[in-house]
């Protein structure tokens, strides 16, 4: 049951990541006053596209390899990989949230105006891509917990006190 849930979550990441990439890469808007704005102008969006591509490829490979008969234990490999992908996705969500926040609210201290007033459609698509990317992150956070459970369940829990441990050794 856990294996099926694990594989389903991994397979859910693929369309979420592909949707994130598609929405972000095709996102551009032209404004007669300020010019054209596209995803490649913002490094945080390019970073999110790269992270989405990596997470989709990894999720697909991991889903397939989880069903292959194992010759060696893959629990630790999945544990480390899931943790790394989850943390990298957190950084990309944070980067895009910062971009979105600044575009939506501006920064009066450095005289940045609110870009979303002039580029509303662009901001809406960034928000949608961010939602899909966040959902993929949620899948990976759950996967990180599942893979941690699998990796650490290979060991017995530590003894409650020292006398029990000594008694069991003798």
Please write the tens of the pLDDT for every residue from 103-124: 888 766 655 667 778 888 998 9
* pTM of the predicted model as reported, rounded to 2 decimal places: 0.83
Query: In this predicted structure, which of 22-31, 37-46, 112-121 has the lowest mean pLDDT?
Result: 112-121
How many domains would you assign to the chain? 1
Please give the pLDDT value at position 3. Answer: 81
For range 18-42, the mean pLDDT: 90
Task: Tell me the Ramachandran region of residue 155: left when phi exceeds 0, alpha when psi lies from -120 to 50, beta otherwise.
Answer: beta
Using the predicted structure, report yes or no on whether residue 18 has a pLDDT greater than 90.
Answer: yes
Kindly state the percentage of the chain with pLDDT values over 70. Answer: 84
The residue-averaged pLDDT of 66-86 equals 79
Band the pLDDT of 168: cuts 50, 70, 90: low
State how far the Cα of 80 lies from the Cα of 74, in Å rounded to an integer. Answer: 10
Burial of 71 (0-12, 13-18, 19+ CB in 10 A): exposed
Q: Which domain holds residue 47?
A: 2-169
The answer to whether residue 97 scores a pLDDT higher than 70 is: yes
At residue 13, the pLDDT reads 96
DSSP-derived letter for residue 72 is S
Residue 58 DSSP SS3 = helix
Give the pLDDT of residue 65: 86
């Amino acid at each position: 049951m856990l294996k099926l849930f694990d594989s389903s979550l991994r397979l859910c990441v693929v369309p979420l990541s592909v949707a994130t990439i598609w929405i972000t890469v095709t996102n551009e808007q032209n404004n007669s006053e300020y010019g054209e704005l596209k995803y490649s102008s913002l490094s945080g969006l390019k970073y999110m596209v790269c992270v989405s591509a990596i997470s989709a490829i990894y999720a697909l490979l991991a889903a397939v390899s989880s069903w292959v008969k194992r010759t060696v234990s893959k629990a630790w490999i999945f544990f480390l990989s899931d943790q790394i992908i989850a943390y990298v996705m957190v950084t990309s969500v944070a980067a895009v949230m910062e971009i979105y926040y600044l575009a939506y609210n501006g920064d009066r201290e450095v005289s940045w105006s609110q870009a979303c007033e002039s580029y509303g459609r662009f901001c809406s698509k960034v928000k949608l891509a961010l939602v899909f990317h966040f959902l993929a992150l949620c899948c990976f956070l759950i996967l990180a917990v599942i893979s941690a459970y699998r990796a650490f369940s290979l060991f017995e829990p530590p003894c409650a006190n020292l006398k029990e441990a000594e008694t069991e050794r003798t």
